[in-house]
């Protein structure tokens, strides 16, 4: 019996010592902070607050270019033979003014297209002065890419330089070799942009469209596309432009871009480099694709 008081004291100390921990354990836990919502797909994560660039056309409104385009030519058909002749004969242009122009035409995209048309427009356009034009081209470029991707993946045509060591005007890379050739994405984009530029500056439509044709043919000179790839690209670009013209948002942006260009094409802007324009003019005087 004498041990009972001691046992009771020990139990009391133990319980009292554990009380703070016990009290903490039974306290209600604070609510977890709410999860941060994922950014909207309509927001540009690189430029917070600025809407992301998106195509004009919905999937339903976009033309099915696999159905619109003819298949690439069959092996050893007359068109295939013409493709091979064009590739072989244009290798002799290496080092020429036309080859140099084709090399510079490798640049593509909204900003590059302004440089492409500097000589025919007679002025160099600072892209920061024409944000509506850049937006128009950037958004349309997504529609162009979608319309080109379908037939490329459908036909999986190899590029003309694959399997040989013939010179081309760009660096040979496995990525380029593994990408497909039909239709030409550069020619598609170049022709769609040419049609847009001709509609924006109709008084210069002839020289703009002639330059747009040459821009596509530069892909043949470069040796990275067959002649029929480029021809299909022009059809592809025309189909996309026609579909875009049916979109109210695109037409509204065209009106904004037209007003912007009218201000910068007032004859007071900086002229393009004379030497570059002379080279371009000389390169385009003689047809490069006679064979």
| Residue pLDDT, tens place only, 262-273 | 999 987 788 999
Alpha-carbon span 134 to 155, nearest angstrom:
32
Tokens of 283: 């390169």
**Catalytic hit among 139, 141, 159, 186:** 186
Mean predicted confidence (pLDDT) in 88-93 = 95
β-partners of residue 43 are 51
Which phi and psi (to 5°) does residue 137 adopt? -70, -40
Number of domains composing the chain: 1
> From the candidates 105, 143, 229, 247, which is the catalytic residue?
229
Residue 12 lies in a domain: no
CB atoms within 10 A of CB 27: 7
What confidence score (pLDDT) does residue 149 get?
96
Per-residue confidence at 279, pLDDT binned at 50, 70, 90?
confident
Q: Residue 150 is part of a domain; what is its CATH number?
A: 1.20.144.10
Range of the domain at 132: 65-285
Average pLDDT over residues 84-107: 94
Q: Is residue 124 part of a domain?
A: yes
* Pick from 206, 214, 204, 190: nearest CA to 283: 214
In a domain, 163, yes or no: yes
Question: pLDDT tens digit string along 240-249?
Answer: 999 999 999 9
Q: Which residue has the higher pLDDT, 12 or 75?
A: 75
In this prediction, residue 41 carries a pLDDT of 38
SS3 of 207-227: the string is: HHHHHHHHHHHHHHHHCCCCH
In this prediction, residue 69 has a pLDDT band, given cuts at 50, 70 and 90, of very high
Question: Is 13 domain-assigned?
Answer: no
Asked if 154 is an active-site residue, the reply is no
| Residue 186 annotated to the active site | yes
CA–CA gap between residue 136 and residue 208 (Å, rounded): 17
Tell me whether residue 76 is one of the annotated catalytic residues.
no
Question: Annotated catalytic residue: which of 225, 234, 247, 253?
Answer: 225
Q: Kindly state whether residue 169 falls inside one of the protein's structural domains.
A: yes
Residue given tokens 């003689």 in the structure block? 286
Of the candidates 98, 219, 247, 253, the residue annotated as catalytic is 219
149 is catalytic: no
Is residue 263 included in any domain, yes or no?
Answer: yes
């Amino acid at each position: 019996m004498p041990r009972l008081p001691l046992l009771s004291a020990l139990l009391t100390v133990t319980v009292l010592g554990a009380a703070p921990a016990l009290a903490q354990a039974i306290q209600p836990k604070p609510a977890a902070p709410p999860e941060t919502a994922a950014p909207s797909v309509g927001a540009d994560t690189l430029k917070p607050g600025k809407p992301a660039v998106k195509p004009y056309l919905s999937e339903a409104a976009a033309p099915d270019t696999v159905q619109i385009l003819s298949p690439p030519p069959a092996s050893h058909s007359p068109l295939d033979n013409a493709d091979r002749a064009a590739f072989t004969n244009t290798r002799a242009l290496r080092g020429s003014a036309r080859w140099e122009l084709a090399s510079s035409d490798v640049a593509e995209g909204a900003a590059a297209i302004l440089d492409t048309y500097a000589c025919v427009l007679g002025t160099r356009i600072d892209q920061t002065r024409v944000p509506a034009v850049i937006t128009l081209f950037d958004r349309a470029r997504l529609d162009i890419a979608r319309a080109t991707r379908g037939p490329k993946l459908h036909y999986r045509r190899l590029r003309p330089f694959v399997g040989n060591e013939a010179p081309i005007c760009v660096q040979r890379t496995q990525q380029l070799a593994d990408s497909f050739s039909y239709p030409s994405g550069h020619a598609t984009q170049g022709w769609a942009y040419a049609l847009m530029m001709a509609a924006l500056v109709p008084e210069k439509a002839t020289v703009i469209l002639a330059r747009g044709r040459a821009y596509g043919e530069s892909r043949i000179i470069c040796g990275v596309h067959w002649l029929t790839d480029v021809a299909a690209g022009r059809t592809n670009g025309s189909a996309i432009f026609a579909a875009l013209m049916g979109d109210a948002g695109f037409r509204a942006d065209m009106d904004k871009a037209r007003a912007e260009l009218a201000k910068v094409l007032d004859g007071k802007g900086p002229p393009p480099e004379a030497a570059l324009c002379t080279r371009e003019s000389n390169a385009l005087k003689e047809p490069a694709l006679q064979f």
